[in-house]
């Protein structure tokens, strides 16, 4: 198992683990967290991921008695990471993506958006992050594809994972949580806007986006949810920055920052049970949103909207939220596409936003 974490341009390479901590059977879920604690006490670094579906097993109402074909938890235990030197990507890249297609028709998508709006009208939820998937065939070197995608659209929280069974290529712009000693920071992302075609229209688009009522309402709703989740295990919870706009190749995205103080030695189970999955990928209120997601989405999200990162023996940690993330297994690839649905969302508007988010990959096909 190899894990390359390149968060905030400080790349760390974890390779040749001493052992793997993994879980596909929920009956061993708690035991995995005990193994994580024991590994940290023994001085190991842990690097890997939690799938979105791991979030079901922090909440009794969501648990299912089933065996998964993709891990809920997957961490390698390492003596220490290596400082990874970023090499320039070769100019030539062999495009080996074929048969790129969605797992849903636009008519069925529109019907599901209307169902979500009905739930909102009934007062059951305020927002749902609803996801669909791009499916494709891939032949070639997955690490070359990862580097090519990063070169085409740089992001602050990329990661690459390689095992005997699968490859994960995460070109994520979103932080889940960073903990250093007792200080914790999370940056929920919610809100997307198309960039302009030239410098003037780009400036205008950014300003329109920053003050757009719908996007600000979506963003502050999730920031409030993260303040509540972090407050379950922390203190001194603040939101020092709201409605920050980040610029990417084809789009703008809106983030807010939530901070707090945690016990230095907080258990990993307690921390993840409070925060995972992030409210930015579920909606609010979280548990009801996750129930509706399970009802409407056609397949498991797997790595998409879970968490990828590492934990140090000192219990510092850093995780992204794997959006813009490809999962490749035996030549078959998938990538989730999601958006926050609120009362004034329209099926066509949400569809267009999803296609914009996927453009960095669909432009290759």
Q: SS3 for 252?
A: strand
The tokens for 211 are 């003050």
Active site residue 10: no
Greatest CA separation for the chain: 57
Burial of 188 (0-12, 13-18, 19+ CB in 10 A): buried
Shortest CA distance to 189 belongs to which of 212, 171, 173?
A: 173
How many Cβ atoms are within 10 Å of 40's Cβ, its own excluded? 21
Contact between residue 160 and residue 143 where contact means Cβ atoms under 8 Å apart: yes
Q: 42-72 burial by CB neighbour count: b if 16+ within 10 A, else e?
A: eebbbbbbbbbbbbbbbeeeeeeeeebebbb
**Cα distance between residue 210 and residue 358, in whole Å:** 22
Does the bond joining 277 to the residue before it have cis omega, within 30 degrees of 0? yes
Contact between residue 55 and residue 72 where contact means Cβ atoms under 8 Å apart: no
β partners of residue 4: 13, 160
- Residue 87 confidence (pLDDT): 61
Could you give the C-alpha distances from 289 to 53, 58, 279, 343, in angstroms and in order? 14, 15, 9, 14
- Residue 71 confidence (pLDDT): 98
Q: What is the mean pLDDT of each run of 10 residues along the chain (365 residues)?
A: 96 97 97 98 98 97 94 97 70 73 96 97 95 94 92 92 98 96 95 90 93 89 92 95 89 94 97 96 95 96 98 98 96 95 93 90 79
Active site residue 91: no
Number of helices (H), then strands (E), belonging to the chain: the values are 8, 20
β partners of residue 258: 186
Shortest CA distance to 175 belongs to which of 267, 98, 275?
A: 275
**Cα distance between residue 99 and residue 136, in whole Å:** 5
Burial of 10 (0-12, 13-18, 19+ CB in 10 A): exposed
Shortest CA distance to 190 belongs to which of 1, 339, 342?
A: 339
- Residue 16 confidence (pLDDT): 96
Burial of 121 (0-12, 13-18, 19+ CB in 10 A): exposed
Catalytic option among 53, 174, 218, 297: 174
Catalytic option among 133, 178, 190, 357: 190
**Cα distance between residue 311 and residue 351, in whole Å:** 37
Does the bond joining 190 to the residue before it have cis omega, within 30 degrees of 0? no
Structural fold of domain 2-362: Anthranilate synthase (3.60.120)
pTM over cut 0.85: yes
**Cα distance between residue 188 and residue 364, in whole Å:** 28
């Amino acid at each position: 198992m190899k894990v390359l974490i390149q968060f905030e341009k400080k790349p760390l390479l974890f390779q040749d683990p001493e052992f793997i901590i993994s879980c596909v059977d929920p009956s061993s879920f708690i035991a995995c967290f005990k193994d994580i604690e024991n590994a940290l006490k023994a001085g190991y670094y842990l690097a890997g991921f939690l799938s979105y579906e791991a979030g079901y097993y922090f909440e009794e109402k969501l648990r299912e008695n089933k065996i998964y074909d993709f891990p809920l938890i997957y961490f390698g235990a390492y003596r220490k990471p290596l400082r990874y030197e970023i090499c320039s990507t070769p100019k030539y890249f062999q495009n080996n993506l074929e048969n790129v297609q969605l797992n849903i028709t636009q008519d069925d998508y529109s019907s599901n958006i209307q169902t979500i709006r009905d739930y909102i009208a009934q007062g059951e939820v305020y927002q749902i992050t609803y996801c669909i998937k791009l499916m494709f065939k891939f032949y070639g070197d997955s690490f070359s594809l990862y580097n090519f995608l990063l070169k085409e659209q740089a992001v602050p929280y990329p990661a690459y994972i390689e095992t005997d069974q699968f490859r994960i290529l995460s070109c994520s712009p979103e932080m889940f949580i960073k903990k250093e000693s007792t200080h914790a920071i999370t940056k929920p992302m919610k809100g997307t806007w198309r960039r302009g075609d030239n410098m003037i229209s780009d400036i205008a688009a950014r300003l329109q986006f920053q003050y757009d009522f719908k996007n600000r309402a979506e963003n502050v709703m999730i920031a409030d949810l993260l303040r509540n989740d972090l407050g379950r295990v922390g203190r001194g919870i603040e939101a020092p920055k709201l409605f920050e706009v980040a610029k990417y190749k084809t789009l703008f995205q809106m983030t807010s920052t939530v901070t707090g103080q945690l016990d230095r030695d907080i258990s990993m189970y307690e921390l993840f049970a409070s925060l995972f999955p992030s409210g930015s990928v579920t909606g609010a209120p979280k548990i009801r949103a996750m129930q509706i997601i399970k009802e409407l989405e056609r397949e498991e999200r797997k790595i998409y909207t879970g968490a990828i990162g590492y934990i140090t023996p000192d219990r510092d940690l850093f995780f992204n939220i794997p959006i813009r993330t490809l999962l490749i297994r035996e030549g078959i690839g998938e990538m989730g596409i999601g958006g926050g649905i609120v009362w004034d969302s329209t099926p066509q508007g949400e569809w267009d936003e999803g296609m914009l988010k996927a453009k960095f990959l669909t432009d290759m096909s």
